[in-house]
Structure 1
Amino acid sequence: MLKRTLIIGGGEAAQYVFHTIAKDETMNYQIIGILDDSLEVQLQEVPRLGALSKLEETIINESITSVFLAIPSLEICKRKHILEICQKYKMETKVLPKLQDIHSKKDKLILRAVSYQDIIDRAEFELDYLMVEQEVANKTILITGAGGSIGSEITRQLMNAHPRKLVLLGHGEASIYEIHRELQKMNHQTEIISCIADIQNEQRLAEIFSEHSPDIVYHAAAHKHVPLMEKNITEAIANNAKGTWNLASIAHTYNVGKFVMISTDKAVKPTTVMGASKRMAEKIVQLFNQKSKTLFCVVRFGNVLGSSGSVVPLFYEQICNDEPVTLTHPDMERYFMTIPEASKLVIQASMITNGGEIFVLDMGEPIKIMDVIYKLIDLTGKDRESVQIDFIGIRQGEKVREELFESDEKAHTQIFEKILVGEGHPSPSELQNIQALLGSYMDMTDKRRKERLFELIEADWRYTKI
């Protein structure tokens, strides 16, 4: 039986939806009509049933069971209202990817179900592109981890500002190859260079910096999977701490103008190896800022929705597959941001840094994970009672609530719209101690590595559950 379907929007995106469904006999949808605020829209023989304000009335009168949201640029408040109505009537709700994603074939799914990106109700952080264009024109920019979810989005955002050269540095050749191909289609003014390299290899990094002389470095390469790093302490230190040291040292040597390191709220009062290794990386960056002409700064993220390692896509997959949703604790809450928001924050931070800052996006209040799960259930059209939720217990080092700043990081003030800033001032003597660990950790037992890591960031490694 065909699902009675309503398309919201009548522009190019809606045309794309209509022709896709018409061509694919396996898609089980019958287009009943469209809603659009413009009286001029035409979609083949499909009737316009009214303005967006008629959504609730149309769902009832036309016995609609599926809604396709085909206005990628719709304002946040209108989008939220539409999704709330769809949620109320338990519509199967799908949204169209951004048109540029379709044209670049980045988004292989024709339509995606409403999912993790739609749980944030606040307006997204927007980048001051004019400021960025003025800053990066005629400059060479290097991005580590350029094939990852955050690094690749940073490159996309930067391409809109037409830098002279983008150096894509990454360890995985497949992901670097893919982002290189995608960026080549975006503009032909920017030279794009792919460098396969491991940030643990200081000599290779020196070769790259010597050849390309980057003006700005965005350091997005990191191990960030919390449970895996608990079992792989050596690699957490090697990649997150020693890799950052290598990059910071070489950036200093080659007189890079600005260096932005991406960190995490798990580095605040860390209780996990991953968080502790990122806290050490933060200290390294701040200590190099004290002795270098390069402007070093840190950007801390909350949970980035849809990034590799994010748990929310797992929830969504479990719901869609009728599997039990696994959550560690019913009171768990987190700060959330989207991949584009995270990437824009990194770029904006590089525009306004004076060196030494810790930048954090004002993400509003933290969101309860249970509320996220319920919203995902509602937006897939299922009944909450039909989805089993299993509480599996807090993992070692996991916190119920994350924090954004350490207590001694002064001035949690807003210096730019939606950007908070704090400053930490580690002692110069810490640099020697960190350097000693990075030179000797391979000779230690795992227990001693962990102890020393936490000692050097003045945290208690014995915490198991918070």
Structure 2
Amino acid sequence: MVLKRTLIIGGGEGAHYVFHTLTSRATSEYQIIGLLDDCSDVKLNKIPRFGGLNQLKEVVRTEDIECVLLAIPSLEHTKRKQILDTCISLQIETQVLPILQDIFAGKEKIAMRPVAYQDIIERDEFELDYQKVARMVNSKTILVTGAGGSIGSEITRQIMRGNPRKLILLGHGEASIYNIHRELKKAHPDVELVPCIADIQNKERLTAVFETHRPDIVYHAAAHKHVPLMEENSSEAIANNAQGTWNLAEVANKFNVDKFVMISTDKAVKPTTVMGASKRVAEKIVQLFNQMSQTHFCVVRFGNVLGSRGSVVPLFHDQICNGEPVTLTHPDMERYFMTIPEASKLVIQASMLTVGGEIFVLDMGEPIKILDVIHKLIDLTGQKRETVSIEFIGIRKGEKVQEELFENHEEKPVLIFDKIFVGEDNPHPAELVDIQLLLDNYMGFTEQERKEQLFRLVELDWRYEKI
């Protein structure tokens, strides 16, 4: 077997772990040629140090390197990105040790893995002030819906760093709630955790949960968000995204919850799909309840989240790694992207800023061409772009080439905190009646009638004057 000429980046504990792991395997496919580290006196067995991190491009070329192993889990984000960008430009196979916080959180093992979609995000991530989080949640009971999902589970991890009095993990799927409960209990044995299997479509069950635990803050992350599936299952989109949000808002109001934070999507802006329209109706419900409640209701809206359930990018990654054609609807398709941890941190930050009624919109940076994401993923697997087939399968019904973050009628957005905008929009109280009529009658409609009524509610943005 011909071994790959391999360069290790790093000379610390991570690099030693990688070196000894690879050299102890009888079937290892890597030949360690040398290492790069900014510290000139590092030693890694008898492996030569070729220089500092800024010499990566030169060393790859002069030493005929075929594979790069990034083995500095504590490396600062900007430097990590620079190294990965260089590897992309060299179109060389690249593997990484996970960053420390992912190892500590139990989300990744201490082992090399191929570069994934999370590694190529082109932005510095937002950092929470956990002392402020602690002041908000320390003596409070927090409830998270969809707590077993990608966003909901990450919100629970971030909230736990503030040491809440009690955290209620509410979700419909027992396996996912079991897993996040087990993870958090192990990491935070002193915090009271309540795994709660409940469906937000069941108002009686929600009422019992709120009556028992009396939550102070609710983060509402439960939702159906798979666009093509909801296009074919509009009744479920309305039941979960709209009726479920109404149920939660009504119960939160009844039990005098202090803050209610609903997580939304850029697909709710000028929606062209059932999923987007159902989430836009949910936004309206939250803002309308804010007008008549002592609870501070708000919405946090953002775009695609890398690695979340329903995101298409993991599919691209799997297709590339499995040698399958990569399927993309249109070559000009663009989306906003951020990582799960950053989105979750910004949701919590927004909850510390709300005074009620806001639609917070997270600064997603510049939209990214999906085709560019695919090309970067190909480069970092060490494959040549020309060897990976990309099939353009056509835009799906209702799909946009570019997404937007604000409605036309929303006031000019204002940056009120680092990476957080707020758009002013107050739905007319009469819309509450229209929404209730849909929720009371949608199951009696045909599929076409249901969609017509749903989109009619979205168009109320233009039928009623703002208040």
**Are the aligned partners of 2:415 and 2:422 in contact in 1 as well (CA < 8 Å)?**
yes
Q: How far does residue 109 in structure 1 lie from its aligned partner after superposition? A: 8.2
> Aligned residue for 2:465?
none
Distance 1:33 1:168 in 2: 48
- Partner of 2:450 in structure 1? 449
In the TM superposition, 1:313-392 aligns within 5 A as 313-392=314-393
In 2, the alpha carbon distance for the partners of 1:262 and 1:289 equals: 15
Query: Structure 1 CA distance, aligned partners of 2:390 and 2:298?
Result: 40
Write the deviation string for residues 229-250 of structure 1: whole angstroms up to 9, x where unpaired: 0110110000000000010111
Shift of 1:55: 1.4
Q: CA RMSD in A?
A: 1.8
Give, in whole Å, the separation in 1 of the partners of 2:142 and 2:205.
Answer: 17
Inter-partner Cα distance in structure 2 for 1:26 and 1:447: 59
Confirm or deny: 8 A CA contact 1:331 1:370 kept in the other structure.
yes
Aligned to 1:32: 33
Aligned CA distance change for structure 1 residues 104 and 22 (closer, same or farther; 3 Å)? farther
Pair 8,171 (structure 1): closer, same or farther in 2 beyond 3 Å = same
Q: State the AA in 2 paired with 1:292.
A: S
Q: 1:100 to 1:118 in 2, by over 3 A?
A: closer
> Partner of 2:61: helix, strand, or coil?
helix
Relative to structure 1, the CA distance from residue 42 to residue 135 in structure 2 (aligned partners, 3 Å threshold; closer, same or farther) is farther
Aligned-partner Cα distance in 2 for 1:276–1:180: 32
1:290 aligns with 2:261: no
The amino acid that maps onto 1:153 is: E
Separation in 2, partners of 1:440, 1:411: 36
Determine helix, strand or coil for the equivalent of 2:291: helix
Partner of 1:76: 77
Residue in structure 2 matched with residue 404 of structure 1 by the alignment: 405
> Which has the higher mean CA deviation after the structures are superposed, 132-141 or 263-272?
132-141
Q: Aligned equivalents of 2:72 and 2:211: distance in 1?
A: 46
- The corresponding residue for 1:243 is 244
How has the CA–CA distance of structure 1 residues 295 and 27 changed in structure 2, closer, same or farther, with 3 Å as cutoff? farther
Once structures 1 and 2 are overlaid, which stretch shifts more, 222-231 or 360-369?
360-369
Cα deviation 1:69-93 (Å, max 9, x = unaligned): 1223323332222112212322210
Contact 2:431 2:460 (8 Å CA) reproduced: no
Q: Is the 8 A contact 1:159 1:186 kept in 2?
A: no
Structural mapping, 1:103-252, within 5 Å: 105-107=106-108, 110-252=111-253
CA distance in 1, matches of 2:104, 2:133: 25
What CA distance in whole angstroms lies between the structure 2 residues aligned with 1:99 and 1:122? 18
The yes-or-no answer on 1:262 pairing with 2:255 is: no
CA contact (8 A) 1:147 1:179 kept: yes
Alpha carbons 1:166, 1:191 under 8 Å: kept = yes
CA distance in 2, matches of 1:311, 1:184: 31
Instruction: Give the Å deviation of 1:281.
Output: 0.3
Distance in structure 2 (CA, Å) of the matches to 1:75 and 1:99 = 11
Please state whether the residue corresponding to 1:285 is helix, strand or coil.
helix
Is 21-30 or 301-310 further displaced after alignment? 21-30
Amino acid at match of 2:138: A
The match for 1:18 is: 19
Q: CA deviation at 1:406?
A: 0.5
1:299 paired residue number: 300
Q: 1:27 to 1:238 in 2, by over 3 A?
A: farther
For structure 1, which segment, 195-204 or 78-87, has the greater mean C-alpha deviation from structure 2 after superposition? 78-87
Give me the whole-angstrom Cα distance separating, in 2, the residues matched to 1:139 and 1:16.
42
- 1:101, 1:88 → 2: CA distance? 26
1:200–1:239 contact (8 Å) kept in structure 2: yes
Q: Distance in 2 between matches of 1:289 and 1:20?
A: 56
Secondary structure of 2:338's counterpart equals strand
Give the TM-score normalised by the residue count of structure 1. 0.95
1:273-292 deviation digits (Å, cap 9, x = unpaired) = 00000000000000001011
Q: Assess if the C-alpha contact under 8 Å between 2:230 and 2:237 holds in 1.
A: yes
Residues 298 and 61 of structure 1: CA distance in aligned 2, closer, same or farther (over 3 Å): same
Aligned residue type for 1:258: K
1:55 partnered with 2:56 = yes
Query: Could you tell which deviates more after superposition, 105-114 or 286-295?
Result: 105-114
Residue 40 of structure 1, CA deviation: 4.7
Contact 1:104–1:185, Cα closer than 8 Å, also in 2:
no
The worse-fitting range, judged by mean Cα deviation, of 72-81 and 134-143 is 72-81
Report if aligned partners of 1:13, 1:99 keep a CA contact under 8 Å in 2: no
Are the aligned partners of 1:269 and 1:459 in contact in 2 as well (CA < 8 Å)? no
Moved more, 231-240 or 382-391: 382-391
Distance change >3 Å, CA 4–CA 363, structure 1 → 2:
same
Counterpart residue number, 1:89: 90
Measure, in 2, the Cα distance between the counterparts of 1:415 and 1:408: 19
Q: Deviations over 1:305-335 (max 9, x none)?
A: 1111111111111122222111111111111
d(CA) in 2 for partners of 1:43, 1:208: 56
Alpha carbons 1:270, 1:459 under 8 Å: kept: no
Shift of 1:45: 4.2
Shift of 1:117: 1.4
Give the TM-score normalised by the residue count of structure 2.
0.94
Query: Hey, what's the Cα distance between the residues in 1 that align with 2:41 and 2:419?
Result: 38
* Alpha-carbon shift at residue 220 of structure 1 (Å): 0.4
Q: Counterpart of 1:331 in structure 2: which amino acid?
A: D
Report the Cα distance in structure 2 between the residues aligned to 1:257 and 1:332, rounded to whole angstroms. Answer: 40
Show the counterpart of 1:437.
438
Residue 100 to residue 123, structure 1, CA distance change in 2 (3 Å): closer
Counterpart contact for 1:10–1:36, Cα < 8 Å? yes
Over residues 124-153 of structure 1, what are the superposed CA-to-partner deviations in whole Å (9 max), with x where a residue is unaligned? 122222221221111111100000011111
Whether the 8 Å contact between 2:93 and 2:379 is mirrored in structure 1 is no
Tell whether the 8 Å contact from 1:164 to 1:189 is kept in structure 2 after alignment. no
Aligned AA (2:187): M
Which position in structure 2 is the counterpart of 1:419?
420
- Write the deviation string for residues 354-381 of structure 1: whole angstroms up to 9, x where unpaired: 1111111112221111111122122222
CA distance in 1, matches of 2:352, 2:45: 47
Task: Look up the SS of the partner of 1:185 in the other structure.
Answer: helix
List gaps (5 residues or longer) in structure 2: 462-467
Letter in 2 for 1:165: K
